Amino acid sequence: MDFTFTDDQLTFREAISRFLMTEAAPEMLREIWETDAGRSADLRGKIAEQGLTALSVPEHYGGLGMDDVAWSLMTQELGYYAIPDSLADTAYVITGLLNGLSADHPLKASLLPRIAEGSVRMAIGHPINPLVPDAPMAEWLILAQGDEVHAVPREQVEVQANASIDASRRLGQVSWNPGPETRVVAGEEGRALWAETLNRGALSVAGQLLGLAQRILDLSVDYVAQRKQFGKPIGSFQAVKHHLADIASKIEFAKPVLYRAAYALAKGEQGADVYVSQAKLACCDASWLAARHGIQVHGAMGYTWEVDLQMFMKRVWSLDPSWGDRAMHKSRVAAYVLSDQARLGPGATFEE
């Protein structure tokens, strides 16, 4: 099978990258993160104007109607430019959950157009995540009670703020009282929605981690080209070259794994769980190695607030266990690989 991105997907990615390059520079993000809210309504509005929040909203609700494959490119850009993961939670993960509801469900008509235009901030609390990103400032929260999916207004939720090593994250521990008025779906339908949402959340984080790994690599390459020892740029030393080459290799090996998982999720393939877990693990490995080698080539100054590296390195650390830690995703992959139904090898990558 010839798997290639469409011209629309690649053009949209390029446009978003150019936009974030100027509107989300590290010095601008630092100023935003140092405010009490840690968010910029102006930046959020500009991102919405670019169409990112409308990416997977159906066209009849004012969106672009793209799928998980397009988001596998967009989440990399969000990671590369350190955009808070809550934007992807609303525009990608929550939108995917709402798209999974019945066509006539009133929640779709009330929320999807607002997501597309960027006028609503939402948060999602899956049972696998103990804390909810952006819960303190969300207008609506999508929360779980067993197999039930609940849409809860912010005024009905108590949020206890929780600090993060990542200065951009605004995490909260939520408490609330579920009731019939907040219940969206339950039973088998709710269980299926939460399972798909877990996959979509893990894929979202995987893409962001891959973008973070690439940003750390680019920062490290720039740094070692300028930093000198013994009269030479440290990038000319073989040990430093090996560190950076290892990161680049991990990134290149993780990309097709991410794209395969996005394709499986978009097509509703039966083995999507395994592909998503494999992608999460591959992208975690790439970003973790990038963070470790990045700080090694920068030295101790890489931890300081003034150096850009720390912004992306801390984001890697904080996102790594989100939407399922490594043990959980390894167990899903192992259960498949060791089963009698496992289809392994290059010939089993795509069905004809």
Is position 271 within any domain?
A: yes
pLDDT at 150 exceeding the cut of 80: yes
What pLDDT, in 10s, does the model give residues 31-65? 999 998 889 999 999 999 999 999 999 999 999 99
pLDDT at 272 exceeding the cut of 70: yes
**154 C-beta neighbours (distance < 10 Å), count:** 17
pLDDT at 303 exceeding the cut of 90: no
pLDDT at 116 exceeding the cut of 70: yes
Bridge partners, 122 (sequence order)? 140
**Which segments of 227-349 does DSSP mark as H helices, in order?**
238-266, 272-298, 309-319, 326-337
Contacts 24+ apart (CB under 8 A), 156-164: 156/182, 159/132, 159/135, 161/136, 162/131, 164/318
Is position 163 within any domain?
A: no
Residue 170's φ and ψ, nearest 5 degrees, are -120, 90
Instruction: Return the pLDDT at 352.
Output: 47
pLDDT bin (cut points 50, 70, 90) of residue 239 is confident
- pTM given for the model: 0.94
Is position 332 within any domain?
A: yes
Is position 62 within any domain?
A: no
Instruction: Tell me the average pLDDT across 55-83.
Output: 95
pLDDT at 1 exceeding the cut of 90: no
pLDDT bin (cut points 50, 70, 90) of residue 350 is low
**Which segments of 81-185 does DSSP mark as H helices, in order?**
85-88, 95-99, 106-117
| Enclosing domain of residue 216 | 189-348
Is position 100 within any domain?
A: no
The set of residues, in sequence order, having a beta carbon less than 8 Å from that of 251 and lying 6+ positions away, is 210, 213, 214, 217, 286, 290
Domain count, the chain: 1
Angle between helices 41-49 and 7-23 (to 10 degrees): 160
- CATH code for the domain of 311: 1.20.140.10
